[in-house]
Amino acid sequence: MAIVVGVLCVLVVGLLGLVLAFARDRGQLQRQLADTRAHVAQLESDLDAALRPPPPTNSAERAVRRVIRTASKVRSHGITGLIQSTVEDLQTWASDDERADILNMAASDGTVTLFFSDIEESTPLNDRLGDATWVKVLAAHDRVLRAQIEKYRGQVVKTAGDGFMVAFRDSEAACRAALGIQRDLPRDVTLRRHGPILVRIGIHTGQVVARDGDYFGRNVAMAARVASLAHGGEVLASDAVREALDEDAALTLVERDAVELKGLAGEHVVWEILPPAS
């Protein structure tokens, strides 16, 4: 009996030794693993910084950057996946021909940037100035807008009175055109004489349906709703515009409180677009 007890004691002591040794080794392995993961993370960070290209210094380099970004999307998702992602929210009601129109007029990533503008309190202004003067004011207003739209290669989709709907292939171009308009309106001799003439502008980026020279879809409504939030002299943009801008875009964005937009579910972040800080 004593022999059995002795053997059991030896076995227990041996097992305890093994458990302690395993626990010690396990702790060392965990520390080594944590150190290795930290080292790998640092190496990945250093590699990413080394491979990250410097910010483009001119428009040609920015264009190349956009081509590379699009190629990366194609590499990750395939061309079929890229095209499908740009029109998936339209397939329930757009025909094949209309989808072709979308791809023909869209930017490289399948999106269009829409710009809506109108003159703040235009009806009281018309009443105060009279129809004859109002026609001159509208003509001067249109000249300023069309000059900037042409400069940044926008396409006027339609106008209604003092309102403009414009499409741009590039979100930064739309923002720059809007800022140029707000800068040039007070400089116009006619508008300065009868002013102030304050224009509110809203910008949104997304996919649309092109039909008979016009654009339709949820994102058209979004752009119009963003414009309706602006006060005279302001340029507001949706969060989609911010996401579409290159990191080196020479613009200042100021975040506004999230808002609800009539007819569009959820809350939406809106940004005020300002010239770059000097």
Q: How far apart are CA 145 and CA 117, in angstroms?
A: 9
Q: Are the beta carbons of 223 and 202 closer than 8 angstroms?
A: yes
Which pLDDT score, from 0 to 100, does residue 132 have? 93
CA dihedral 267, 219, 165, 86 (to 10 degrees): 140
Tokens linked to 94: 């757009």
Tokens linked to 151: 């400069």
Q: Are the beta carbons of 267 and 259 closer than 8 angstroms?
A: yes
Helices marked H in the chain: 2-51, 59-87, 96-105, 122-129, 131-151, 171-184, 189-194, 218-229, 239-244
Q: Which residues pair with 205 in a beta bridge?
A: 113
Out of 33-37, 95-99, 105-109, 136-140, which region has the weakest mean confidence (pLDDT)?
95-99
pLDDT beyond 80 at 277: no
Per-residue pLDDT, averaged over 14-19, amounts to 66
Contacts of 143 (CB under 8 A, 6+ apart): 188
Contacts of 241 (CB under 8 A, 6+ apart): 113, 171, 174, 175, 203, 204, 205, 271, 273
Q: How far apart are CA 126 and CA 198, in angstroms?
A: 13
Q: Are the beta carbons of 268 and 229 closer than 8 angstroms?
A: no
Q: How far apart are CA 176 and CA 164, in angstroms?
A: 16
Q: How confident is the model at residue 211 (pLDDT cuts 50, 70, 90)?
A: confident
Q: How confident is the model at residue 221 (pLDDT cuts 50, 70, 90)?
A: confident
Residue that wins the pLDDT comparison between 256 and 88: 256
pLDDT beyond 60 at 83: no
Per-residue pLDDT, averaged over 35-56, amounts to 53
Which pLDDT score, from 0 to 100, does residue 99 have? 46
User: Using one digit for the tens of pLDDT, what is the confidence trace for 159-203?
Assistant: 888 999 999 988 999 999 999 999 999 999 999 998 789 999 999
**Region for residue 219 given its phi and psi (left: phi exceeds 0; alpha: psi -120 to 50; beta: otherwise):** alpha
Which pLDDT score, from 0 to 100, does residue 174 have? 95
Which pLDDT score, from 0 to 100, does residue 270 have? 86
Strand order in the sheet with 235-238: 155-160, 163-168, 112-119, 199-206, 235-238, 270-274, 252-255
Q: Which residues pair with 159 in a beta bridge?
A: 164
Cβ atoms within 10 Å, residue 168 = 24
pLDDT beyond 80 at 214: no
Which pLDDT score, from 0 to 100, does residue 110 have? 64
Task: Quote the percentage of the chain above a pLDDT of 70.
Answer: 61
Residue ranges of domains in the chain: 89-274
pLDDT beyond 70 at 134: yes
Alpha-carbon distances of 79 from 63, 72, 90, 204, rounded to whole Å: 20, 10, 18, 25
Q: Which residues pair with 160 in a beta bridge?
A: 163
Q: What's the chain's average pLDDT?
A: 75
Per-residue pLDDT, averaged over 265-270, amounts to 74
Architecture per CATH, 89-274: 2-Layer Sandwich (3.30)
